[in-house]
Structure 1
Amino acid sequence: MYEEMLQYVKNCLVTNNGDEGTKVSPFPFRKRSDHIRRVFMWAQRLVEDIPSINRKAVLVAAIFHDVGYSVSSDNSKHAKNSAAICKKYLAENGYDTDFINLVVYLVENHSNKRLMREEGTPLELILLMEADLLDETGALSIIWDCMAMGMQEVQTYEKAYNHILKYSCTQLNENPMITTKAKEFWRKKQELLCEFVEHLSFDLGL
């Protein structure tokens, strides 16, 4: 079921958005469908030991959360567009109204990260937003910084080091996670990044 949904979302992005990345990002190595699959992976990890939630709704929402970019590259509209595509897909495939309403709510609100710290926010939405934030941080963010530097005309190790300090390190300054497991994932990313930067600085004699 999930693989069918992932393939459907990828087809939407490829069909309507060319290479599913360059219209919304200056980095051609970043693909929306790859991001979606990784957010789905993070969601699987986060919901694993939480019995009191609708796990299926979180996982389905993770799959559909960014499909709206196939309609428009406008970041401010992608959540609403994603929710509309998701609602249509679930309705056409026989899902019940309560489930559809929950998943659509999660998709439509996943970008509103301030809700993570507001009282009354459903745990399902918090988990979805945590999964979204956990992607492209830590080790993957370092790779992103290095690949971005590789696209520039002039490249040096020191420029890559400074780029990592400016982007990857700044991104992990604080821990925005709410659930215990997500906090621990984020903490490990922070530790890895600090150790990497320390070794790189030492190797460069900075």
Structure 2
Amino acid sequence: MADCTSQWRFSPGNNTLDNETPPHKPKMQYDDTETVRFTGTSTAMTPKRKNRPDHAAFLTQRPIEQCLLRLKQLHHHNLRVDIVHHSSDQVNFLLRFYEHGQIRVTGKGTLRRWEGTLTRVDCTMHEHDGTLVWLALVVAFLVLFLMVIPYIVLILFGLSTIMMMLIAAALFIGMLIWLQFMNRFAPADDIPPNLVMMVEDALR
């Protein structure tokens, strides 16, 4: 990949762009046919701080048209890239990362045409762990199978031994099905891809 060292550098500590004077380098030519693939193995998979927004702002020597092309090439069946605004000088985009059909990470960003052929990139990502939905399902599970169903059965039906065994078997099967359903919404143990670093790797 071509060296894309910028004449500006983003300082995470104070969220400002610091001026640098790099050594003279010949003008570089970029290959627009170069592709970006979501492989799940790049440095963008480095863990992030969980449940906290992740932000990045930097300058790249790539022109805005090439940045837009490379951003679209990140689109994957688990990673959706949507362009919400596109003009000659600015592009606004949304990112959504899905896991088991559920949204794990959402993000938004902007590409701005800068001086010469430079492009300013701003993006913010936020992880969704799904804890509240999962806890609500756990509470519903406990109330349903430990209180509601046994109470209804005991009040409305005269029970024989065989009937009690059949009802117990039905409740057991129902609990297994419900637990499987809850597991779909359980917070994942792993940390999803760091989309901020993925965008940086693609556009720098």
> Is TM > 0.5 for Structure 1 vs Structure 2?
no
Normalising by structure 2, we get a TM-score of 0.24
Q: Would you tell me which structure has more strand in proportion to its own residues?
A: 2
State the structure with bigger RCO (CA 8 A, min sep 6), 1 or 2: 2
Which one has the largest radius of gyration? 2
